[in-house]
Structure 1
Amino acid sequence: MLNPIDTDAVIRDGRVAGAFPGEMHEGVAWWVAACFVVVSRAQQMAVAHDGHVTTRGFHRRFCRGAINAQHFSCQVADLGEANEAQLVHAMQALGNSPGALLSTTRDGGRQTVTIRLYDAEGQLLAEDTGLAKVREMIATDRVPIPVNDQAKGRITMRRDLVETT
């Protein structure tokens, strides 16, 4: 694995979070997304971000990882900038699909990137509902890759799901 991370420090407490640069890099978003698709067996998912310039890079990588997870052909509804309530509404509108919200906070000179994963019922992923499995897959370098081009999903802009809330 290129650029490994301390998975126990970064993937915990119901989220994926770490200092950028340092504890996290944009590749982590790809890994998390691909593993989340496999763990949740998602055929579709909603993804949103907070609009921060740093978050946008992580968001792009997350979406790419989600569409490239094994044979799942996951369809990503890219909501663009949205808050948690808008994300959960979009997840419900998509037929109770899982989702992810990416954000960046700044404390002095330190930026912390956070990825929150939501199950199909709109609840944050917890240790016993998949987060531990995502962490284990990344820690053991078992990040899923696409099996072929036909298994690749697609990213679709879905601002319409945000504007209706």
Structure 2
Amino acid sequence: MLNPVDTEAVIRDGGATGRFPGEIHEGVAWWLGACLVVTQKARRIGVAHDGHPAVAEFASRLCRGAINAQHYACNVRLLGHQTEARLLAALKSSQGAPGAWLSASTDDEALIIRITLYSRHGIVLDETNGLAEIRRMIDEDRVPIPVNDQARGTVEPWHHQMAKGMCPS
């Protein structure tokens, strides 16, 4: 692992949470994206964020991890700057796509990054539905990489109309 992270401290409470810089870095988002795709066996995921500049970079990294997850060739639908409610509505309309919501807040002058991961049923991941497996994969440096270039996925914008009624793939 090039840039280690304390997985027990950071990978918790439905995803990853930590002070930036320090406890969490952009590579964690890449790992989460790849591991979310593999643990949920996803061919498509939805991603949105709160618009904070640091969070936008984390979202970009998460998307890149998701499109590089083993043989899944995952299609990442990026809503960009949206509310968490809009992401959840889009995931619900997508007939079973998992997703990720990224947000930032401040605590005693430190930036806190939070990445919340959702199952294909719109439920926050916990120890029983994927989070423990993601933590283990990252802790053991077994983050999935693509088997070949044909296995790489794509990132495309998830336009407002698509978020309302999910255009067919």
For the superposition of Structure 1 and Structure 2, which TM-score range results when normalised by the shorter chain? over 0.9
Offset of 1:10 from its aligned partner? 0.2
TM-score of the aligned structures, taking structure 2 as reference length? 0.93
Aligned to 1:19: 19
Aligned to 2:118: 118
SS in 1 for 2:39: helix
> In structure 2, do the counterparts of structure 1 residues 160 and 24 end up closer, same or farther at CA, with 3 Å as the change threshold?
same
Q: Percent identity?
A: 51
The answer for unaligned runs of 5 or more in structure 1 is none
Q: Could you tell me which amino acid in structure 2 is paired with residue 63 of structure 1?
A: C
- What does 1:59-138 align with in structure 2 at a 5 Å threshold? 59-138=59-138
Runs of at least 4 residues off by over 6 Å: none
TM-score of the aligned structures, taking structure 1 as reference length? 0.96
Counterpart-to-counterpart distance in 1, 2:59 and 2:6: 21
Q: Is the 8 A contact 2:49 2:84 kept in 1?
A: no
Offset of 1:162 from its aligned partner? 7.2
Offset of 1:92 from its aligned partner? 1.9
Number of aligned positions between the proteins: 165
Q: Is the 8 A contact 2:90 2:163 kept in 1?
A: no
Aligned to 2:37: 37
> In structure 2, do the counterparts of structure 1 residues 158 and 30 end up closer, same or farther at CA, with 3 Å as the change threshold?
same
Counterpart-to-counterpart distance in 1, 2:87 and 2:9: 26
Offset of 1:15 from its aligned partner? 2.5
CA deviation vs aligned residue, 1:24-52 (integer Å, no higher than 9, x gap): 11011000110111000000000000000
> In structure 2, do the counterparts of structure 1 residues 114 and 39 end up closer, same or farther at CA, with 3 Å as the change threshold?
same
